[in-house]
Amino acid sequence: MPYKNLSKILQSLKTVYSNDNTDYSKKYSGEIGYKTDGLSPDEAELLRQHNLQPNNFQTYSHGDLVSAFLKLRDTTSLTWMSCSRFFIKGLSGELPRYRQTLMSFHFMSGLENHAFMPSKRHANCDICSLPLKSVFDRTHALYTYYLGHSWNETPAHFLAELEEASTFEAPEVTREQVEKLSSLLQAISDASQDETPGQLEKRIASLKLLPKTDKYKRYGILQTLAVTGVMPGDLDSGNQPARSDIVHPLAGWRGSMGVDYDVASTIFPDFAH
């Protein structure tokens, strides 16, 4: 467990970050926050103890984030092995918070020191996709991960994610949990030739393979497999379909591409055995 009182923490975060709890009376670094008066003093203290106090807005430049990622990479206790186990545990539904770490770690591993490179296609850096400036509530970013989401679109949030995951104990995985991954990969390779990622998500939902997921959480799990190359895809994000729920690289996957089992056994050493 990341924290022994995880369910209480999640409940307290839900109290603050529900949709109708926005607080328009105050701004934090120019951003609108959330009301905290629904928290009991004990709940507020519990969140503070875990560095999860609400409305914890932080401002970073692109350079700040790159430096902080590179520094964390040198000091973190996270490894490919521990992150792959985080993912397997997240996938199994035991700890949904753990689903994001593998994708964040993949991002950090590939990062090199560089200056912001303007892009012709979007507002973010063409090299690493980080924005020139980021302002966000660290706790709200972490809250989405506590709910079991994983995203590749906002790498600025990966820093807080990895900092927090660095404080978690490296998990052990059970045979049943590894089999869960195995069943998911089997389902993906069973796809018909022209199956789309959206059709794949529906099929996985009907197979009931992934506990504690909804459509978007399943996209997150599949996106992690795509980002790490376990699900091969078309890496050209220039072909992004407009107004799609599914972004690249997962958007570029089709059934005929199946699963790259060589990559899978590299990313998930437990799976290879």
User: Which is nearer to Zn ion, 66 or 78 (by Cβ)?
Assistant: 66
Q: Indicate the residue whose CB is closest to Zn ion.
A: 125
The pair of three-digit structure tokens given for residue 170, joined into one six-digit string: 């490296």
Report the helix count and the strand count for the chain, using DSSP H and E.
12, 4
The distance of closest approach from Cβ of residue 156 to Zn ion in the complex, given in angstroms and rounded to an integer, is: 11
CA distance 12 to 43: 6
Q: Can the peptide bond before residue 249 be classed as cis, meaning omega within 30 degrees of 0?
A: yes
Sign of CA dihedral 45, 22, 154, 149: positive
- For the bound state, the minimum distance from the C-beta of residue 255 to Zn ion, rounded and expressed in Å, comes to 34
Least Å distance between CB 179 and Zn ion? 39
- Cross-strand partners of 137: 57
* Min CB(129)–Zn ion separation in Å: 7
Q: Which is nearer to Zn ion, 125 or 141 (CB)?
A: 125
Q: Which residues bind Zn ion (CB under 5 A)?
A: 125, 127-128
The Cα 86–Cα 100 span in angstroms is: 8
Residue 84 or 124: the one with the smaller Cβ distance to Zn ion is 124
**Nearer Cβ to Zn ion, position 125 or 191?**
125
Segment holding 25, helix H or strand E: strand 22-28
Nearer to Zn ion, 132 or 207 (CB): 132
Please, what is the minimum distance in Å from the beta carbon of residue 132 to Zn ion? Answer: 9
Q: Where are the beta strands (DSSP E) in 104-208?
A: 133-137
